[in-house]
Amino acid sequence: MPTRPRRVQIPVGPQHPALKEPECFLLTLEGEIIRESGVRLGYNHRGIEKAAESRTYIQDIYLMERVCGICSHAHATCFIQAVEEIAGLEVPKRAQYLRTLIAELERIHSHFLWLGVAGHEVGFDTLLMYTWRDREVVMDLLAALTGNRVNYSMNTLGGVRRDITADQKRDILEAVDKLEERTEYYVGIARDETTLIQRLSGVGKLSKEDAVRLGAVGPTGRASGVPRDARRDDPYAAYADVEFDVVTSDHCDVYGRTVVRLLELKQSYRIIRQVLERMPEGPIAVKAPRKVPAGEAVSRYEAPRGEDVHYVRANGTDKPERVKVRAPTLANVQAVGHMLKDGHLADMPIVIAAIDPCFSCTDRMVSLAGSDRPPGVLTWDALRRHGIAWYRERGIDFADLSSRLARPEER
Amino acid sequence: MLQALFYILIFPGFLFVSLFSFFTEYVDRKLCARFQNRIGPPWYQPVADFIKLASKEDVVPHLADRRTFEYAPVFALAACVTAFLYIPTWSKEALFAFDGDLIVVIYLLTIPTITFFLAGWYSRSVYSMIGAARSIVQLFAYEIPLLLSILAAALLAGTWSLSAVTSFYAHHLGYLGFNALGFVVAIVALLGKLELVPFDIPEAETEIVAGSFTEYSGRLLALFRLAKGVELVVGTSLVASVFFPVALDFGPIVGFVAYVLEVLLLVAIISLLRSLAARFRIDQMINLSWKVAAPLAFAQVLISLAVKEALHL
C-alpha cells in the first residue's frame, strides 16, 4: 500500500550559508522535492525612507547610495532624477554621459559578482574565484574614477562631482578590452561546461506568462522572454543617445538568467565605448537650489538587478516630505516561491540566487490600515519584554535555556 | 605484543596515518587553491585547524542521542585506520594479510559512511537528517562501481587478498594496462566515497549547511575531520596498491618514496577534478553511478575475465 511520504519543513534562513543577507524561506519538503515555500522578509529593516525625510536633499544622496552596496549608483541616480525633475533642473549633457558610464561600470561589477555567487551556489567554487579576480579590474577602475570601490558619491544635484581625464578614458578602454576577453571566456564556460549546464538548465522555471503576472523585472524577466528594460523603454541619462540591444532569452530558467547576464555584459562594453566616443565637452553640473519647490515625481532606472523605482514628494523646504524606494528584488521575490515549487532542495540556493536578490534593500515596514494593533513607538526595554513574552508563549524560555543546554553532569 | 602495539598505534598505524593525512590535506588544499588562482594555506594549516578544533568546546544538542553522537567519530576514525593495516603500501606485503582481506578493507571503508549517517540522523536537526539520508543514498550509488572495479583487478590476479593482488601486478607490470577502465571508475567512485566536489552532496554547504556534521563542534568535529582525512589516505592507498604497484622490488625506502608519490599523484588528480566541476544533484549522481559507472565497471570485469581466459592465467 503506497503511503504518502512524510513532509518535513525546513527553514532556510534567517541565517543560512546559501543566503548572504537575512531573510527566511520556509520550505516544505517531500523527500528532496520542495512542495511548498513561503518567503518572510523584514529581518533587516533599516528605516532609510523615514531617515530620508529628516535630511536635506544633498544628505539624502549619500543616504540613498547606502540603500544597496552593489547598486549604489543606481539608487542615488534614481533618487536624484526625481528631485531634478521636481526642481526643473537641466542636467548638462556631459554629466548625463558620466552617469551612464558609471552606471554601466556598476552593472559590469554587479554581473561579475553574480556569476561568482551563482558558481558558489552550485558548488563550483573555481568559477567564484575566477570571476571575482576579474571583477577587481572594474573595481579598481571605479576606484580610480570616483575614489571609491563602492558608494561612488558621483552624483550631486544638477550633475556629477568628478570629471574624467583623457588618461582615465584610455584606462577605461583598456580595462573594457580586458573584461570583454574574460567575458568571452565565461560565455564559453556557460556554453560548454556540462556539469554547470546540467545544474542550471531546467531549474527554477518561470514561463513568460508567469513572469508578467508576477511582475518579474530585470534579467529575471528578460530571461523569461519579457523584453522590458527601462533604459530603452523610458530612456534616462544618455541612454537615448547610444545603441544597444535588450538581451532576452527564451530558456525561462536559471541557465537563461545566466546567459542574459553574460550577454548584457557585452552590451555594457558596447555602451561604454559609445559613451566615451560621443561624450560632449562642457560643464559637469549646474548650480542647484537648496530648497526644492513643492511637487512630486517618479523616477525609473534600470539597475543591474532590474527596474528600480523612486518616488519623491517635495514640499518647498530643503527636505523631502516622502521618499519611496521600490528595489528590484521586491518585484522579483514574488516569483521565487513559484520557481521553487516542485523543484529539488539542491536547486534552492541557485534558484534564490538567480534573481540576484538584495534583501536589505527590499525590507520595508508596513502598518496595516484597520489593524487592531495601534501603531506606536516601542522603547528598547518594551521590545525586549515583548520578545521574551513572545517566545515564552511558544514554549521557549531563554531564562531557562542556559541550564537546559548545560551538560547533565553540570546540572 | 609490544611490536603489534607499535604497528597499530605508531607506524604504520594511527600516528603515521594521521600525520600523513594532514600532509595530503595540505597538498589537496594548496593544489586546489592554486587551480583556483588563490595562494592557499601554509603547510601547518591542517595541524593548526586540528589543534584549534580540539581545544574548543564540544556542544551536544539537547535532542541528540548522546552516545551515538559521541561515539560516531571514534568509530569512523578507527575503521579507517584499521583498513590501512591491510593495504600493502611500500612493500608487496601488507602488515596483516589473509585470503579475503580485500572484502574486509572494502567493508571497513564503508563504516565511516555509516557513522556519518548515524551521526547525522541522531543529531536530530533537519539539515543533519537530510545530509544523513543523502550519505546513505550516495553509498548505494558509488559502492557497487568501486567494489566491481577493484574486484575486476583481483579477478585477473586470481586472488581475494590485497597483498597477493599487489604482488601479482608488481611481477606482471604489463597487465596493469588491462585495468585502465577500472581505474577511471575507481577514481570517480572514490570521489563519491570521500564526499568531495562534484559529489559533496551530503554536506552541500549552500543547501544543508554541513549535512551530517552541522551540529558537530570541538573535539568531535576534529575527530570527524581527521577520519575524513584518513579516509582520503586509505582510499588513495587502496587505489594505488591495486592499480599502481610499481617500484616495490627495490627495498623499503624506494618503495616508500614511490608510495608517497603515488598517493600525492592521486590526490592531485582528485584536487584537479574537484576544482573543475560544479556539484551534482543527488539524482544526477545516482544516474551517473548506475547508468555510466556501474556498466563500465561490469565491462572491466568482462575484460578481466576475457584476458584471464586468453592468457591462461
Between residues A1 and A322, the one the model is more confident about: A322
CA distances from A315 to A53, A104, A293, A294 (A): 11, 33, 6, 4
Q: Report domain extents, chain A.
A: 48-335+348-360, 379-411
**pLDDT at B179 (0 to 100):** 82
What ipTM describes this predicted complex?
0.81
pLDDT attached to residue A407: 56
Helix residue ranges, H only, A223-346: 230-233, 254-278, 328-340
Is A168's pLDDT higher than 80?
A: yes
A370 vs A245 pLDDT, higher one: A245
Tell me, what's the pLDDT at A269? 92
The Cα–Cα gap between A322 and B271 comes to 56
Question: How much is the pLDDT for A5?
Answer: 64
CA–CA distance, B199 with A69 (Å, rounded to integer): 34
Surface-to-core class of residue A221, CB atoms within 10 Å of its CB (0-12 exposed, 13-18 middle, 19+ buried): buried
Tell me how far apart the alpha carbons of residues A21 and A362 are, in angstroms, rounded to a whole number: 11
Q: What is the pLDDT of residue A373?
A: 66
- Selecting from B206, B277, B282 the residue whose C-beta is nearest the C-beta of A32 gives B282
Q: Which helix (H) or strand (E) holds B155?
A: helix B126-157
The rounded mean pLDDT for chain A is: 86
The per-type count for chain B, helices as H runs and strands as E runs, is: 13, 0
CA distance A18 to B210: 11
Which distant-in-sequence residues (6+ apart) come within 8 Å of A398 by Cβ?
A: A388, A391
Task: With beta carbons less than 8 A apart as the criterion, state whether A186 and A262 touch.
Answer: yes
* One-letter-per-residue 3-state SS of A90-123: CCCHHHHHHHHHHHHHHHHHHHHHHHHHHHHHCC
Per-residue model confidence (pLDDT) at position B6: 79
Q: Which of A17-21, A127-131, B107-111 has the lowest mean pLDDT?
A: A17-21
Q: What is the pLDDT, as a whole number, of residue A374?
A: 63
CB–CB contact B206 A126 (8 Å)? no
pLDDT tens-digit readout, A233-275? 888 888 888 888 888 888 888 899 999 999 999 999 999 999 9
Distance from CA of A123 to the nearest CA of B (A): 5
Q: What pLDDT, on a 0 to 100 scale, did the predictor assign at position A411?
A: 44
Q: What pLDDT shows up at residue A109?
A: 92
Task: Provide the pLDDT for residue B304.
Answer: 86
If you measure CA to CA, which chain A residue comes closest to B131?
A32
Residue A400 has pLDDT above 70, yes or no: no
Percentage of chain B exceeding pLDDT 90? 16
Name every chain B residue with its beta carbon within 8 A of the beta carbon of A349: 206-207
Name the residue facing A198 among B37, B126, B284 (closest C-beta): B284
Contact of A261 with A268, CB cutoff 8 Å: no
CB B135 within 8 A of CB B195: yes
Per-residue pLDDT tens digits for A209-236: 888 898 889 899 899 888 888 888 888 8
Q: Is B275–A125 a contact, with Cβ atoms under 8 angstroms apart?
A: yes
More confident residue, A85 or B97: A85
Asked if residues A344 and B279 have their Cβ atoms less than 8 Å apart, the reply is no
Question: A198 touching B, CB under 8 A?
Answer: yes
Lowest mean pLDDT among A251-260, A290-299, B49-58, B192-201: B192-201
Q: How far apart are CA A295 and CA A312, in angstroms?
A: 8
Closest CA to A23 of A45, A7, A8: A45
A73 is written with which cell numbers? 549608483
Name residue, grid cell 605508531. B10
Residue B222 has pLDDT above 70, yes or no: yes
Helix pair angle (A125-146, A166-192), 10° resolution: 170
Residues 6+ apart with CB under 8 A from A84: A91, A157, A158, A288
| Choice among A123-127, B208-212, B259-263 with the minimum mean pLDDT | B208-212
A348 pLDDT higher than 50? yes
User: CB–CB of B204 and A129 under 8 A?
Assistant: no
Measured between CA atoms, how close is A237 to chain B, in angstroms?
Answer: 38
pLDDT over 50 (residue A402): yes
Asked if residue B48 has pLDDT above 90, the reply is yes
Which of 1.20.120.80, 1.10.645.10, 3.30.450.20, 3.40.50.150 would CATH assign to domain A48-335+348-360? Answer: 1.10.645.10
pLDDT in tens, B127-167: 888 888 888 888 888 888 998 898 888 888 888 888 888 88
- Quote the pLDDT of residue A409: 54
What is the pLDDT averaged over residues A298-315?
A: 91
Has residue A198 got a pLDDT over 90? Answer: no
Express each pLDDT in B158-170 by its tens digit.
888 888 888 888 8
Smallest Cα–Cα separation from A335: which of A265, A258, A254?
A254
One-letter amino acid for residue B49 of the chain: D
Residue A196: the pLDDT is: 82
pLDDT (mean) for A52-65: 90
B64: closest CA of chain A, how far (Å) = 12
A283 Cα distance to chain centroid: 31
- pLDDT category at A2 given cuts 50, 70, 90 is low
CB crowding A100-134: b at 16 or more within 10 Å, else e: bbbbbbbbbbbbbbbbbbbbbbbbbbbbbbbbbeb
Task: Answer whether A124 sits within 8 Å of B283, measured CB to CB.
Answer: no
What are the residue boundaries of the structural domains of chain B, listed by start? 2-311
B126 touches chain A (CB under 8 A): yes
A312 or B95: which leads in pLDDT = A312
Identity at A361, one-letter amino acid code: C
pLDDT category, A404, cuts 50, 70, 90?
low
Q: What is the pLDDT of residue A70?
A: 87
Res A389: pLDDT: 87
- Give the strand pairing for A24-30 and A33-40: antiparallel
Chain A residues within an 8 Å CB radius of B200? 123
